[in-house]
Amino acid sequence: MQKPINMPKYGLQQDEGTVIEWRKKEGDHIEKGEIILEVETDKAVFEYEAPESGYLRHILAQDGAVVPVLSPIAVLTDEPDEPVDLAIFSKTSSSAPTIESPTEESIPEPTQTTQTNTSSNRIKRSPAARHRARELNIDLSTITGTGPGGRIVKADIENASPAPMSAGSSSLSKMRQAIGKTMAFSKSTIPHFYVGIEIDLTDAETWRKNLAQTDNIKLSVTDLFIKATADALTHYPALNSSLDGTTHMIIHDTVNIGLAVGTDDGLVVPVIPNAQKTFLADLADIRTQRVNDARAGKLHGDAAATFTISNLGMYGVTTFTAIVNPPEAAILAIGAAIPRVVPFGDPLTIAVRQIADITLSADHRLVDGIVAAQFLQTLKKSLEDVKNLDRWL
């Protein structure tokens, strides 16, 4: 049976993707979940995993091709010698914009040994760096990258530019345009409301540091919030839902936590899949790897986020509100845990405790204030009781 492999859609506002590099060639057998190519969107480079097992019979979109989302880019068959009718796939995509062949701008840049991945001849650079280099007519092969692994970032291009930057004008990168488009869409179409709570992280912080010393298990505060959030969402599924159109609510059967991560190019959201079933130590490893990959310009396409967390506490920010990332129902904003003099204990005394302000932004079409408040109460109880933390190890 012949089946198409389609250009994936990684974001609500994504219209097209660029085939960066095929990791497999025609005739190869591929397994479901195996990385078969790299795809670039306005936000990042994704490693695309095979949706099914089979034989890669025909590649319809070669390296450098710009393809509308959900349009066929290759043909997969069950058998290596199975006949393929390519006309079927041309009809499937006949209503979509034509696939663009690689142009001078989309052809991979010349190789430079110190900057290339061992499995690729492409220069390692961020999408924003590539676009800025084109604007300034700068040859990427002449630039030394300062990003992770020698990756060229936007700042490297601007530092190498012989012409001074305009004091009053600068072109937005495609990533910044995509972020702006998505956030403007969210604020103009989603009826946001906000609910906040204070969480005492004193005992959790002590527990976390002791765990690192006694068992060499290193966790971040973000890891604790990811796990506690995923656990709480299993009790309040409306917050782990999305809106399909204007009348249909989709309740997701897994909790995939998106983590807002700032990069030199803009904001990206790596995803920790099945966080509700993942033990804390494993979750920390996954979070570390995916955040590092995101900062290097690559995101994993194995799961879409169902709920997002944004943590600015490490920058000393005490409280803020975040914008819901459509089509999700809510986003959690985490502020810094700072020492405060508060009533504590039974009988009550005065103590200095590490208190963090947490704010939930939610879509009022999918959830009401009482559900948001109950969710935050559950989150607070989980993080303030170290017995829960032990249970998640």
List domains and CATH numbers for the chain: 2-92 (2.40.50.100), 113-171 (4.10.320.10), 192-391 (3.30.559.10)
Percent residues over pLDDT 70 in the chain = 85
Compute the average pLDDT of residues 311-334.
95
pTM, to two decimals:
0.71
Compute the average pLDDT of residues 20-30.
91
Tell me the backbone φ, ψ of residue 248, rounded to 5 degrees: -120, 125
Please spell the DSSP secondary structure of 104-158, one letter per residue: TTTSPPPP-GGGB-TT--SB-B-HHHHHHHHHHT--GGG----SGGG-B-HHHHH
- pLDDT-derived band at 148 (thresholds 50, 70, 90) equals low
Q: Cα angle vertex 340, ends 334, 345, to 5°?
A: 105
Which pLDDT score is estimated for 369?
97
Q: Give CA–CA dist 239/221, Å, rounded.
A: 22
Nearest to 222 by CA among 180, 169, 260, 181: 260
Residue linked to tokens 């450098």:
64
Model confidence over 105-121: pLDDT tens digits? 333 333 333 333 333 45
Catalytic residues: 364
Please spell the DSSP secondary structure of 245-299, one letter per residue: TTTEEEE-SS--EEE-EE-SS-EE--EETTGGGS-HHHHHHHHHHHHHHHHTTEE
The upper half-sphere exposure of residue 378, i.e. CA atoms within 13 Å in the direction of its Cβ, equals 17
- pLDDT-derived band at 21 (thresholds 50, 70, 90) equals confident
Compute the average pLDDT of residues 317-339.
96
- Which amino acid is present at 12? L
Which pLDDT score is estimated for 114?
31
- pLDDT-derived band at 297 (thresholds 50, 70, 90) equals confident
